[in-house]
Structure 1
Amino acid sequence: MGKIRVGILGAGGIAAVHASILQRDERVEIVAVADMVEAAAKKLATTIGEHVVCGDSVVSLIDAGVDTVYVTTPNRTHLQPVLTCLKNSINVFCEKPMATSVAEGEQILKAACDSKAVYNLGMSRRFAHAHQYIKKLIDSGRLEPFSAHVRLNRGELLNPAWTADPDQTGGFLYETTIHQLDLLEYLFGPIKTLRCEACQAISDSELDNFAILFTFESGMVCTMMSSAHSGWSFPFERVEIFGRYATLETQEIESVRFSPGLNQKIESEEYRLLPHDEKGGYVRENQLFIDALVNDSEPPVPVEQAQRLNLLIACVYESAREQKEIDFSTRTREMIG
């Protein structure tokens, strides 16, 4: 089998992260870069070597002979390039979110199921060392979660400025809190119900302050607080889990502290000095995606999981706006199967 021939659509910061990782993978050849801003495409192409700049569309990448496209454009622009790739049997690694509506997600789900190509959603936080450590503890039975609290306070409405524009992001939950929402089912299993209270604390255009209660099929419960306006004070991202005389807490993706039980030694892991692309899970998710293409195996975040997350975000917004509890298990059966 020859090398995976990759094209990159969108030449912003996250594209550079993926390009740098792919460049180090001997199984991959980056063939071309496309962006609406030609200077941005040229800049990225220059940093990763002698690669062709191919216009401003996914069609130009396909014409260049790629078999895989990384879609790293703004949130609301994912649908059409993804559908074009799948229709033409081109593999897709799409940066989050999958889409910014359930209807668009359904189109992608159907197209992926009808296509010979592989679809994967980029959810790097799953593969951060801190969260992989938690996953191993739970899967091994060393930590049995009874309840949890997830917190995110980031001043995203200020930095960068475009994150305050829901016309670009689809809403704060699609841009930022999507990572924490994705971790819920990844770590704790299927969500049963959810109830969200939210408000516009400072934003003139969207909900920016969320308090959410989740119940799970396993019987555990989780609360989540997410604020778009409370600054960047460290740690602005935290997971706390409570088990049988056991507790675990993270400080962003920098460290984990696990107390396994009474009269037992507290365990801790530190990741602060690791390169950001490895610490943040980007290296691992790319490795697993390329593994899936080479080995004809399931990608790290397949299309069914992507649409389930897309539906979850829509349900959180619905709960907040209509002031009601959502039976998520029923919704997923009805809309995803």
Structure 2
Amino acid sequence: MAPPPQRTHEATSFERFDRRADLIIIAGSGRPVDKACFFVSSSKVCRASNILRAVVHQSWGSHQRGQRPRIRLPNDEPRSLRIILSIIHHRPLTVPVQPTILELYYILLCVAKYNLSKQIRPWAPLWIQRAQCADPTENPVLLFIAWQLGDADLLGSLIQHWVSNALHTRDGLVTPDGQRFSRRPVLADMDACRHIAKVRGYLVERAVNLWQTTMNGLKQDEDAEVDEHPGLKSSNPNADQQCTAFVLGSLQQLEWKIIGETLPQDHHEYLGRQCILSVLIKQATEDGGRQFCTRSGEARQHCRCVRLVSRMKRRWAEILEEDMGGIAPEWELALAQKAQWTGSMDR
């Protein structure tokens, strides 16, 4: 029985990358209009990475006599693979210097899949600049872009952004607009979601402890003052409430809202002690915090509270630097290696 005839036109677009091309690569899946056919040099493709070399050798071993060997890559996006093949075949004029974030994401998916980090070295610094200028609000893929290009500074700032702005739902982390992080498998591979969730929970806990420490310090000052001046006791029956009020009022008067701005947006959904924080921040922002301006006529008490609040601000800045400004220790070695491959350390 004769073999079935081979289709000669599997894609609507065809492009030759080399005069000595001897290998056909078909990228994409579905209808021919959604696929692309590339005529490439097998030797240049093999030199690009060991993974591509194995794919090419497999195609040479399975192709039929009289036909050109071909490789089908149904899971690869044709436009991004075209850019990768242009890099491999030394055609720099066809490689975008300022790709869109989505284009860059798909390009780097191919880079990660076929271990091509060294091949993109001339373009990596420019692509990093493109990623740094992008708005991270609705682009969780920037995490993967920063990771693949080996930019530790960008990755750290993005982690800090998503610690504050991602929302925790039953489906895991999502953007405020509802994009699920889990829909990007590469983020799961780098374990970014677990790291973000861990920092978020720890940050809220530290904030609650810091509020309580500050309030307790003010209450101790109040108690000491009452002991020294017994006549104040009748005019100050709720020292604990007033201490809380003065801290919140001082923060509001000083226009310092960094704690509220750097905490996760959905921190009020946390259970237990963490609920305290959302209540306090909400109270502090009502009516501009005017109802919290207690005992404002006593300069000595006012200065004491302002000093304590200032210490609180400095301590919170330290917490942010420790817990949000850096990256996971297990990422450092991998990022350094990627940065060395892509040349991002040289810019």
Common fold, TM-score beyond 0.5?
A: no
Give the number of the structure whose residues are more often strand, by fraction: 1
Calculate the TM-score normalised by the size of structure 2.
Answer: 0.25
